[in-house]
Chain A
Amino acid sequence: MITPTHYMLLSAALFLIGVTGVLVRRNLIVIFMSIELILNAVNINLVAYSQQLQNAIGQVFAVFVIAVAAAEAAVGLGIILAFYRNKETINIDEMNTMRW
């Protein structure tokens, strides 16, 4: 019998894998992809509770999350490209000096 608690544990695990990715990796694109994992984890949680409460509000919220993720990915990747044109690197350890 799969309860929403199962889905919440899955969502928490996925969320934490995403957070680990954001904190540990230095490739900026992989960090962005880990953020997408975090957003997916939130979506799984929303949809699981939407099914338990038989209310489609959770799914509407998930659609909005997907729309916001699309907008964020587009602008974020634009920033990465603009940065790469100037600095020739996408390693965040080399990006944190504002000077040179």
Chain B
Amino acid sequence: MLDTLVIPLVKILIVLNAVLVAVTYMVLLERKVIAWVQVRLGPMRVGPYGALQPIADAVKLLLKEDITPTRADKYVFTAAPIIALVPALIVFAVIPFGPEVEIFGHKVTLYITDINVGLLYIVSVASIGVYGLILAGWASNSKYPLLASLRASAQLISYEVAVTMTLVSVIVTAGSLSMVQIVEAQRSAGVWFGFIQPVAFLIFFIGGLAETNRAPFDLPEAEQELTGGFHTEYSGMRFALFFLAEYANMIVVSSVATTLFLGGWLRPFPNVAMLAFLDVIPSWIWFFMKTFVFLYIFLWVRATLPRYRYDQLMALGWKVLIPLAIANVVVTGIVKVLL
């Protein structure tokens, strides 16, 4: 009873709360990092060095007027942000933050669950997230959001193919679909998969940028392009849900990249006994550090690179990344059979 009901519920509560708080502080971090790159200070007024800015943002969004366009499809209009946010959150059920540890004499695994098709579950849930975008544009009953949402969803499903191919090469290397098994495979191989599969790592990162509609692939939601993209007609809490969904997706992509390519909760060189002094840092701290590196790279890329035009974006996805990813799978398969 304790093991099957109470402990998973506590884990779910902790993970959901942590993710939502992390998402709100990601917003602040993004503004700060971009500001520092541009040699200015970012939000400084609210709280010490702007640390309470997310709370001010949340209060503002909660109190804003909630407008629904007259001819909009009421139910779909309300459902679209929910459909965008829920997949981003339920992915965290299979992401392993750490191995089995002892808490107050009780053996607890630092992940909510480990299903035998974990990686495919992540991909399939991400493909449900596309519906939020499409329906948001459709339900707004307005030209620009519809165009933007069709563009955004076409971009998403194109890069989904490339990302899934890179995941296939990781699965071939690890020999299992379960996320915990993939991390254990990295421990037994002694080296992170990012070094064995650099091409897959790169394609996954670029595809992750495109999947989350982040710069330089953020044409569908750039303000200068289509007046705000698919969430033009949304205001108040519904807009906040889209915002949350985007940053939660960023954290998901970073977590998955950490688990698959950077060894998850393992310390660097997990089998080398000489570096055992690094074990003083708990496993989940390693996980957070690596995820944070990824998130920082997301923000860094946004501050640095200019935006891709839409046809350049689609050409990159279909003509460069997908053939490269397929070639990677073939080479991985050949090497795995020969070795």
Q: Report if A and B touch in the complex (beta carbons < 8 A).
A: no
Q: Which residues does B use to contact A, with CB under 8 Å?
A: none
